[in-house]
Amino acid sequence: MHSVLTVEHHAPSLDRATTYTALIPDTGTPPFAVLYQLHGASDDHRAWLYKSNILRHVDGLPLVVVMPSGENSYYVDAWERMVVDDLPAHVARTFRVREGRAAIGGLSMGGFGAIRLGLKYPEKYASIYAHSSKLVETGDDHDAAVIAAQVDRKKMPALAFDCGVDDYLIEHSRTFAATLKSLGLPHEYREHPGAHTWDYWEEHLPDALAHHKQVLGL
């Protein structure tokens, strides 16, 4: 299985120490592609590792998985800089990762982060997969629909997302899917049985990994 690394470092955008978890493949040959996987509100860099079986699901994939702490930031402002600038810079100087675009994913607040950052920085991310996303319509730069309307279509990442039919946030995903359709932006949106729970994310994490695998050509 992948090695599990706990990385304590200084993040310039936060001007302080923070910690991320990284999974490093024990098969395949570096340089490796990278997936940035974001947690939801109230959680931290350990959430995916502790509450899902992500370590087993990535077994055999030549993919470095980087899981930062985003606190309750929604990955905007200083945390946007942390995820988009600091983290890739730290990963690139530390690990043997390939150049070129990464994948980004997450759940709930992290699903929002994955979609918003993925579409806002298409030169950095080739693949997006979000679960149960919290996509509030604010009408400004924090609004994924506003970002989507401005996306550089030539660089548009391969975008997929899903949501459980009993998720209290499902209208967020449905509305966003309708917006993408009206904008003519390619995407995959799927609904499955389930609610806003780790059982749901555990079940659909493999869908996300399969998407990234295909897009990144792994």
Which chain residues interact with a second copy by CB under 8 A?
1, 3-10, 14-19, 24, 26, 29-30, 41-44, 46-47, 49-53, 55-56, 69, 71-72, 90, 93-96, 198, 202
Q: 151 to each of 55, 128, 161, 176, how far by Cα in Å?
A: 33, 14, 17, 14
Q: Are strands 3-11 and 16-24 parallel, antiparallel or unpaired?
A: antiparallel
Can you tell me the distance from the alpha carbon of 177 to that of 173, in angstroms, rounded to the nearest whole number?
Answer: 6
Rounded least distance, CB 26 to a second copy, Å: 6
Rounded least distance, CB 27 to a second copy, Å: 10
Q: CB-wise, 21 or 133, nearer to a second copy?
A: 21
Q: CB-wise, 73 or 174, nearer to a second copy?
A: 73
Q: CB-wise, 34 or 151, nearer to a second copy?
A: 34
Q: CB-wise, 17 or 140, nearer to a second copy?
A: 17
Sign of CA dihedral 218, 213, 3, 88: positive
Rounded least distance, CB 141 to a second copy, Å: 24
Other Cβ atoms within 10 Å of 69 Cβ, number: 20
Rounded least distance, CB 114 to a second copy, Å: 19
Q: What is the largest CA-CA distance in the chain?
A: 45
Can you tell me the distance from the alpha carbon of 20 to that of 82, in angstroms, rounded to the nearest whole number?
Answer: 11
Sign of CA dihedral 159, 164, 166, 167: negative
Q: CB-wise, 17 or 150, nearer to a second copy?
A: 17
* Rounded to 5°, angle at Cα 13 from 11 and 19: 30
Rounded least distance, CB 33 to a second copy, Å: 15
Can you tell me the distance from the alpha carbon of 86 to that of 97, in angstroms, rounded to the nearest whole number?
Answer: 15
Q: CB-wise, 52 or 179, nearer to a second copy?
A: 52
Rounded least distance, CB 47 to a second copy, Å: 8
